[in-house]
Amino acid sequence: MTLEAGSADAALMPGMACTVSFVPYSKPEAVAVPSKFIHDDADKHFVEVVGKSGQTERREITPGHDNGEQTEILAGLSVGDLVLTERPAKTAQGPQPTKAEKEKGAIIP
């Protein structure tokens, strides 16, 4: 491993000590959801979102890095989307979120 100190090279002396923290991945502007909200179907990944009309829609996503609790979403979601925490119950008109399911939703910050 190589460390470059830049212009501070001249101030470094043998015997000095420091503490180093490594951050393997950081992307503050990333859209992420709890990993348990993501469902798999064959080779595709999706989440259930509440659309503008109040209808639930299944939205295909492209997942990125996963730390075990949160998964980065590379494509398919935007900030402000309401993601359901569970799959909605199916009705004759297709999947419709119940009031409780809408309340369980998570708005992507």
Read off the pLDDT of residues 33-65 as tens digits, 9 standing for 90 and up: 888 888 888 889 998 888 777 788 888 999 988
pLDDT at position 22, please? Answer: 82
Give residue limits of the domains in the chain: 30-107
Q: What is the pTM of this model?
A: 0.57
pLDDT at position 92, please? Answer: 46
Q: Which fold has domain 30-107?
A: 2.40.420
Which among 78, 75, 97 has a CA at the least distance from the CA of 86? Answer: 97
DSSP run (H or E) holding 47: strand 44-50
Which among 42, 37, 1 has a CA at the least distance from the CA of 22? Answer: 1
Handedness of CA 47, 52, 54, 55 (dihedral sign): negative
How many of the other CB atoms lie within 10 Å of CB of 74? 13
Residue 91 has pLDDT above 70, yes or no: no
Separation of alpha carbons 33 and 17, rounded Å? 39
Share of the chain above pLDDT 70, in %: 74
